[in-house]
Amino acid sequence: MLCLQRRLLPDMPTLWLFDIEPHEQRYTSEWKHYLPLQLRNAAKQRGTGWKVRVINGGATSGAITSGAFMDFAETNIYKSRQVAKFAKAVRAEQVKAGDRVLFADAWHPGVMSVRYMADLLKLGIGIHVMWHAGSYDPADQLGQKIKHKAWSFAFEQAVYHAASISYFATKFHRDLFVKKLQVSGTKTKIVGWPMEYLKTVFAPYAGRKKEKIILFPHRMAAEKQPNALRALERLLPGYDLVFAQEQNLTKDQYRDLVARSEAVFSASLQETLGIGVYEGLLCGAMPIVPKRLSYVEMYPGWCYDSSWTRSRRAVNQSKSVFAPYIRQLLRGRDPEKIDRLAQLVGGQYFSGDNLYGSLFR
């Protein structure tokens, strides 16, 4: 009788995860490890019976195109392998009605391939995508490098329409996407990103003694404006202005540096979340962020005047005001206030709870 009952039980649904190729200097290497674990734990805790299967694209070189966030050629090799693996699973009848596919990066040609198979083979599956950036953001790498955007806008719109749900970490990002691409937004959800693991990985570093370090945690890219901090160097004597990406650090060395820093600095012209700033918060670093982009909703009351870093010219004109502002800010650094802010920001923007609730409902 027990064997008969087991045979009669319906197949449990599967979440097929198209992961992102990992790069050591980016959060993608952490997502490679932690995202499947967190998804499986969330499915287990909810008791819904969901299984999680990862579709990865195999080994990568780890190389990154200069000033960019990935290797723009190798990413296509990785994504093509993922599509081939999933297509083989479809042919083997491993993909069942009621399953869902999660693209950890929405800018993936495989979204079209999966929708093609889903419709023509009547698979009855859902397609969920996570938007990090795109050509719809004029300050993003894609927005800058793609000069004739008719094709890229059409692709981004097609991904939106092909997907069942599009996920965004912040309201700022969702609103930018909807406005620029002129889509309805009815199939969007603002969920924060599944990065609760950061609390765990930074916990061993949180007690390090602070040093007179102002850290630039971002990529050395034009849209991140590292020169805005360099311009302040002579006006901030006694402080070391450190640019993390220039140090060629391991993850351990980077986290140690974050933990020793008094402040994390941003002058970004493009930011849809801001992971480096939050990492600093976890270690008690003061956020120095402009009143624009995603920072406005995440750090109300903590942002400096956006006009000070709108451009290189603006930085030069405002640095006599900006530097004293930073010195005063750091003199008043309150670890307890920063810790409360870290808990608030972490709970809303660096937790996967809302994402998991949508995926495993």
Tens of pLDDT, residues 90-133: 999 999 999 999 999 999 999 999 999 999 999 999 999 999 99
Domain with CATH 3.40.50.2000 in the chain: 12-195+351-359, 197-348
DSSP 172-230: HHHHHHHHHHT---TTEEE---S-THHHHHHGGGTTPPPEEEEEE-S-S-GGG-HHHHH
Q: What pLDDT is recorded for position 207? A: 87
What backbone torsions phi and psi does residue 159 show, to the nearest 5 degrees? -60, -45
Q: What percent of the chain has pLDDT over 70?
A: 96
Report angle CA 89, 93, 98 to the nearest 5 degrees.
Answer: 95
Average pLDDT rounded to a whole number, residues 270-277: 97
Distance in Å from the first CA to the final CA of the chain: 31
DSSP 247-310: G---HHHHHHHHHHEEEEE---S--SS-HHHHHHHHTTPEEEEESSTTHHHHSTT-EEPGGGGS
- Rounded to whole angstroms, the Cα distance separating 346 from 329 reads 22
Tell me which residue has tokens 């959800």: 189
Mean pLDDT of the chain: 94
Q: Which CATH class is domain 197-348?
A: alpha beta
Q: What pLDDT is recorded for position 6? A: 38
The residue among 214, 325, 227, 330 whose CA lies nearest residue 280 is 214
- Rounded to whole angstroms, the Cα distance separating 282 from 286 reads 10
- Rounded to whole angstroms, the Cα distance separating 287 from 100 reads 38
Tell me: pLDDT of 147 over 50: yes
CATH fold for domain 12-195+351-359? Rossmann fold (3.40.50)
- Rounded to whole angstroms, the Cα distance separating 104 from 285 reads 29
Tell me: pLDDT of 277 over 90: yes
Neighbours of 66 (CB within 10 A): 7
Helix 150-162 with 110-120: angle, nearest 10 deg: 40
| pTM higher than 0.85 | yes
Average pLDDT rounded to a whole number, residues 158-176: 98
The gap from C-alpha 186 to its chain's centroid, in whole angstroms, comes to 22
Q: What percent of the chain has pLDDT over 90?
A: 89
